[in-house]
Amino acid sequence: MVERKQGRRSAQQAEETKQHILLFATQMFCEQGYERVSLRSISEKAGVSHSLIRHHFGSKEKIWHAISDGLHDYMQRYIAHILEKLPPDTQANVKLYTLVSRLLAFMLTYPQPIQLIADAVRQEDALFDYFIDNVGELESQVFAIAEEYNTLFPETPVNVAELKWQMIMVAHSAASLTPFMRQTWVDESLNDVECLARQWQMFERHVASVLHIEQENRLTTVTVDDLVYDVPCFTQEQGGDCAFEQQLNQLNRVFGCMHGADAETQ
């Protein structure tokens, strides 16, 4: 019995160490880019030995894979949560509108995932290929709704790829071209939180028009983080810790993002 408890503690400690390493690696990849980060620099930042990182992950690429896997797992749960919040009889156009609008709010509030994706594009093809290979399960949920929408509105079929690209452009421009975003509304003296809301509102107006959304079904907000759900990871529901959510919450404090760790479920 004692040996079994010690084994569980050892496994838990090992998992906590891996999450600790992933947290600092994610922070460094976002700040410096994949190419400029080394295993040794991660070990120094995380305060663990170089050999321990190699023991848990083997290589820098494997660390990136673990971060990418965590992102995909979390986003699958996030998408499912958005859809579960809708009434069962919600029409496909409202489902699709609500999904992409709330996803964009998440991406604007948490810029780290889009930063990681953009950096992967600039780096080795293998990183981007790994990310794209895992996207299928996420996209399948969206395509199913789009097919339902196209049945209801055959004269104005929706192109999911275009919709996704528009969402990525809006999110990435806010994260990488922030001074230009501020300049857009400089005459109104808006702060960054208000600028992000305007960024989201531009996208929302376009999507509402394309998807034939009635006014009563449209989302409105003063700050984008009001539209972000607090979705626990699977491990948290089982009484454990979620590495990716820890990364989001702690990175937000590091990067000064707007959505805190104590968000309440909308």
Mean pLDDT of 139-168: 91
At 66-83, the pLDDT tens digits run 888 888 888 888 888 999
Q: Which of 101-105, 151-155, 259-263 has the lowest mean pLDDT?
A: 259-263
Instruction: Provide the pLDDT for residue 257.
Output: 32
d(CA 251, CA 79): 21
At 161-170, the pLDDT tens digits run 899 899 999 9
Going along the chain from its start, the domains and CATH numbers come out as 2-255 (1.10.357.10)
At 14-40, the pLDDT tens digits run 888 888 898 889 889 888 888 899 999
Instruction: Provide the pLDDT for residue 266.
Output: 37
Instruction: Provide the pLDDT for residue 235.
Output: 46
Whole-structure pTM value: 0.81
Mean pLDDT of 95-121: 90
